Amino acid sequence: MDLPAPTPAKQETPLTVIGLESSCDESAVAILRRNATGGVDVLADLVLGQTQAHAPFGGVVPEIAARAHAEAMDGLVVAALAEAGLTLDEIDGIAATAGPGLIGGVMAALMTAKGLALGAGKPLLAVNHLEGHALSPRLGQPVAFPYLLLLVSGGHTQLLIAEGVGAYRRLGSTLDDAAGEAFDKTAKIMGLGFPGGPALEKMAVAGDADRFALPTPLKGRPGCDFSFAGLKTAARQIWEKLEAPSEQDKADLAASVQRAIAHALASRARRAMQVFLDDFPAIAAPRPLIVAGGVAANKTVRNALQGAAGEMGFEMIAPPSKWCTDNAAMIALAGLEKLERGAIDGLEAPARARWPLDESSAKLDPAIGSGRKGPKA
């Protein structure tokens, strides 16, 4: 069910929320205010990356990330308040990512938010990072519920129907690697640098996507699930067979992998669009296909999804590029939506390494199994 509707008292004055994000390798703080038209004004939006710290390792090192978050978070809060021209007393709620993510990183933002909430006497809003992505297109334009949602990032590839704030129904999820992970690990195998996804996209510009034959993930399998492990393995095998790979070899393989991932995402999205049409026949075209997460910034992926959406009578909607990757504006927005509905969290709210958006169905039917910390996906 959707969270409770805002009470009249909550709607008398515009609410202002500060959001903190530290789930992976981006330390970020943003401040949002609800405006008179029902949209939001972004009053501050700060992101401090860690690319240089992790580049020598070819990927994110959790211990390095957690330490960097802990050192940066307080200063970012001070800087965001100064940029917005506000004091903490003028903030109505403190939102922070509480999971899923690298647990040391998640704790940095959440513990900072708890300290601010306790010290200033403000409500704490523990936000699911995935819901931040799910709501992120609403940063740029109004998007009404229900809508079809494709979450596609380094750690998650899922198709869901968003029926309201806090109400998500899973149609499909990855059975192994996420799409972003396939991008990143293929880039690492090819020595393209870190972060891998953008590096592979840049290399693919000069490539021939027809040169290398790659398998079609889950070919012939019904449903809306994804799989990218086989595709990643096939790319590695092709790479290992190349003797002294040239720059053109790199470009061709990058283009082939990128197109294969884009096609797989578009193919499964078509099936999910049909489910949405069956469930909500009264919604007039174009229906919304929301695409969120870091991979949504990839132009080839966007083009493939736009084409599929057009064929099915949908409109693909993605947040502006700066809000596709991890950011605090989306966390502040999710916190604002929760605050308006009175969904306030206690100071005992836990940091969670795993936190599915569709928690009930994930427990009943986890896509990648379940462990001590809960369903993996």
Query: Each residue of 165-195: pLDDT tens digit?
Result: 999 999 999 999 999 999 999 999 999 988 8
Taken in order 328, 333, 339, 341, the sign of the CA dihedral is: negative
Between the ranges 167-176, 319-328, 358-367, where is the mean pLDDT highest? Answer: 167-176
Task: Please tell me the predicted confidence (pLDDT) of residue 375.
Answer: 41
8-137+323-356 shares its CATH topology with 145-318: yes
Task: Please tell me the predicted confidence (pLDDT) of residue 219.
Answer: 86
Picking from 22, 51, 21, 45, the residue whose alpha carbon sits closest to that of residue 33 is: 45
Across residues 34-55, what is the average pLDDT? 85
Task: Please tell me the predicted confidence (pLDDT) of residue 24.
Answer: 82
> DSSP per residue over 174-211, as a string?
BSS--HHHHHHHHHHHTT--SSHHHHHHHHHTT--TTS
Please give the single-letter amino acid code of residue 187: A
Q: Residue 195, preceding bond cis, omega within 30 degrees? A: yes
Task: Please tell me the predicted confidence (pLDDT) of residue 54.
Answer: 73
Residue 88's CB is within 10 A of a number of other CB atoms, namely 16
DSSP letter for 47, please: E
Across residues 103-124, what is the average pLDDT? 95
| Domain spans in the chain, listed from the N-terminal domain onward | 8-137+323-356, 145-318
User: How far, in Å, CA of 328 to CA of 132, rounded?
Assistant: 9
pTM of the model: 0.85
Residues forming a β-bridge with 49: 26
For residue 374, name the pLDDT band (cuts at 50, 70, 90). Answer: very low
Question: Which tokens is 48 given?
Answer: 């401090």
Residue 106 pLDDT more than 70?
yes
For residue 331, name the pLDDT band (cuts at 50, 70, 90). Answer: very high
State pLDDT tens for residues 144-173: 999 999 999 878 899 999 999 999 999 999
CATH code at 8-137+323-356: 3.30.420.40
Lowest mean pLDDT of 37-41, 63-67, 188-192, name the range.
63-67
Task: Please tell me the predicted confidence (pLDDT) of residue 2.
Answer: 47
Residue 355's CB is within 10 A of a number of other CB atoms, namely 24
Task: Please tell me the predicted confidence (pLDDT) of residue 361.
Answer: 55
For residue 3, name the pLDDT band (cuts at 50, 70, 90). Answer: very low
Task: Please tell me the predicted confidence (pLDDT) of residue 12.
Answer: 64
Average of per-residue pLDDT values in the chain: 89
Task: Please tell me the predicted confidence (pLDDT) of residue 156.
Answer: 87
Q: What is the dihedral of CA 97, 100, 154, 165, to 10 degrees?
A: -70
CB contact at 8 A, 330 and 320: no
Task: Please tell me the predicted confidence (pLDDT) of residue 360.
Answer: 59
Please give the single-letter amino acid code of residue 357: L
Residue 364 pLDDT more than 60?
no
**With b meaning 16 or more CB within 10 Å and e meaning fewer, what string describes 16-46?**
bbbbbbbbbbbbbbbbbbbeeeeebebbbbb
DSSP letter for 345, please: B
Task: Please tell me the predicted confidence (pLDDT) of residue 10.
Answer: 43
Task: Please tell me the predicted confidence (pLDDT) of residue 371.
Answer: 41
Going by CATH, does the domain composed of 145-318 fall within 3.30.420.40?
A: yes
Residue 371 CB contacts under 8 Å (≥ 6 apart), including other chains: 354
Residue 178 CB contacts under 8 Å (≥ 6 apart), including other chains: 152, 153, 154, 155, 156, 157, 226, 228
Task: Please tell me the predicted confidence (pLDDT) of residue 376.
Answer: 43
